[in-house]
Amino acid sequence: MYARKVKKRVVRNGKKKLVRKGKAKSKKTLLKPTSLNRASPRSLPRSSKIASIPSSIASPRSSTLASIVSPTRTSNIQRSQIQPLVMQGDTLTQLVIKDGRFSTLLSLVKMAGLADLLNDKKKTFTVFAPTNDAFAKLDKKTLKLLTSPQGRKKLKEILMYHVVPERFESSDIEGVSTKNTALKDEILCIYVDNGEAKVNDSKIIQADVRATNGVIHVIDTVLATPTKTCAKYGY
């Protein structure tokens, strides 16, 4: 707060003259909230630093994450499955436990008593693993039967039909490849159709997830109907 001198106009000897008379306090100047160093958005300069932020930071998906999640085409098979993932030190059972997409499969594998088999590091298997969404396609009546004590034998047979007792990767597909399954006398038909790898009528949505004792191929449909021939698939 400051003071200013006040001048008063008086008449002396017929002449007007300004004389100083005391001091007066000036009125307080109140600052409105909008004037407290707030710059309008239009007045803000565009920072060159903002424009130079790498896309891997500015985007919620980093390039590293995208290289894992986003589909990439393989050279030997023209399809949309992603590149092989190598999981160091994990068995097939451990991979299923760690992947949230297989929670239904995991509970059924335990129910059928197959968890120890797929955890055996002395043996090698290929597992065509249905996701939770794949099991959700089954009608409720079938799923209820498989999870009941009466359907335990049928459950084990269906799960064993998804297992090949050897390592088989996508690069091994030639024409229509037939593979004997862990279910006696039943085979799987693995082939490429219009650029997509399939097993029977199920699409392989992720190939070659490698474990220490085998490999997992993720599929979108449960292989509920075993077959003894691949004639319908051109073999």
**Strands, E, within the chain: which ranges?**
3-12, 15-25, 85-86, 125-130, 163-164, 176-180, 187-193, 196-199, 202-211, 214-219
Q: What is the CATH number of the domain that holds 122?
A: 2.30.180.10
183 falls within a domain: yes
Q: What is the pLDDT of residue 235?
A: 66
Q: What is the pLDDT of residue 35?
A: 42
Alpha helices in 36-137 (DSSP H): 48-51, 55-58, 63-69, 92-98, 103-112, 132-136
94 falls within a domain: yes
Q: What is the pLDDT of residue 89?
A: 73
36 falls within a domain: no
195 falls within a domain: yes
Number of domains in the chain: 1
Paired with 211 in beta bridges are 214
7 falls within a domain: no
18 falls within a domain: no
Q: What is the pLDDT of residue 124?
A: 97
Report yes or no: 107 and 193 within 8 Å, Cβ to Cβ. no
Q: What is the pLDDT of residue 47?
A: 42
Rounded Cα gap, residues 168 and 215, in angstroms: 7
Mapped onto helix, strand or coil, the DSSP state of residue 155 is: helix
Q: What is the pLDDT of residue 14?
A: 54
101 falls within a domain: yes
Domain encompassing residue 78: 68-227
32 falls within a domain: no
From first to last of its 235 residues, the chain has per-residue pLDDT tens of 444 444 455 555 555 555 455 544 444 444 444 444 444 444 444 443 433 333 333 333 333 222 223 333 333 444 445 445 555 579 999 999 999 999 999 999 999 999 999 999 999 999 999 999 999 999 999 999 999 999 999 999 999 999 999 999 999 999 999 999 999 889 999 999 989 999 999 999 999 999 999 999 999 999 999 998 899 887 6
Q: What is the pLDDT of residue 49?
A: 40
| pTM summary value | 0.65
